Amino acid sequence: MSTYTDNIEDDEPDFISNVYNYDWSSTSLGPMEIWDNSITNAVNLCLQSAFPTVISIAPDWIVLYNKAWRQVLKSKHPHALGKTTKEIWADMYERFVSKYERYNYQFLPIPVS
């Protein structure tokens, strides 16, 4: 069975290790060791998914994504990892954040369109 990532050239074989070894303490999230289990579980699912997946974690909407999401980011990768949504998509920040906050407080999935 073919997956989405079958068509992605693996120019970054240690991508998952890079995410886990990122200096998260330099962000508002702090080191991974202190993250809530729900965030850690979501990150683990994201990283293992073959489909492009991104997580923006409140309160600063820090961006964490999987290998397949690199195609969406294009030239913004690898700079985007661990940065805020505002740093990555300044021109679309207000649009993203209004959706994030609306769905975050209702605990609903955020549709991507």
- Domain assignment present for 28: yes
What's residue 8's pLDDT? 46
How far, rounded to the nearest angstrom, does the alpha carbon of residue 83 sit from its chain's CA centroid?
9
Express each pLDDT in 77-107 by its tens digit: 999 999 998 999 888 877 777 776 666 655 4
Express each pLDDT in 60-72 by its tens digit: 889 999 999 999 9
- Domain assignment present for 7: no
- Domain assignment present for 2: no
- What is the percent of the chain where pLDDT is above 70? 77
DSSP of 19-56: HHHS-GGGSTT--GGGS-HHHHHHHHHHHH-SS--EEE
- Domain assignment present for 62: yes
- Domain assignment present for 30: yes
Distance CA 10, CA 67 (A): 9
- Domain assignment present for 1: no
- Domain assignment present for 8: no
Tally of structural domains, the chain: 1
Please name the amino acid found at residue 40.
T
Q: What residues make up the domain containing 40? A: 13-106
